[in-house]
Amino acid sequence: MSTPSDDVGTPAPRRKPPRQMDIGKLYETLQQEPARLDKLRTNSVGIKLALVPAGVSIMGSMPTEPERRLNEGPAREVTLTQPFYLGVHPVTQEQYQKVMGKNPARFNRENDGGLDHPVENVSWEDALAFCQKLAGLPAEEAG
């Protein structure tokens, strides 16, 4: 019986090469987004967000990409059916503290960091809880 670890180092089967999306097509797609969605926005705790439009793109890396790892392929075409906003910068300690009421960062004011530094020392579960709590804020639900 095969286990997931048996496949490590095994190249993926060859597929038809995906179409490349060029910058011009991406720009056109951005221009076609409904006017009601801002290209950039800042949420209620100061997180700057950029609009990622719905459309077709390539996910994964091409086999010829330098330093490519086997788990980064195969490159394939994906379709985003809805636009969404993505944070432009890492979440700062101040932003995290505003939402969660605490600052778990090791590199805080006492350790050569500060509230304007990225929050670190956060688990996947902590990040998920942050996103859920942020999305539930009244100011975010209205926007």
Whether 7 and 18 have beta carbons less than 8 Å apart is answered as no
pLDDT of residue 77: 93
Across all residues in the chain, what is the average pLDDT?
83
Indicate yes or no: pTM above 0.75.
no
Q: How far is CA 128 from CA 12, 30, 53, 71, 122, in A?
A: 31, 28, 23, 24, 10
**pLDDT band, very low/low/confident/very high, at 139 (cuts 50, 70, 90):** confident
C-alpha to C-alpha distance for 5 and 89, rounded to whole angstroms = 34
Average pLDDT over residues 106-132: 94
55: left (phi over 0), alpha (psi -120 to 50) or beta: left
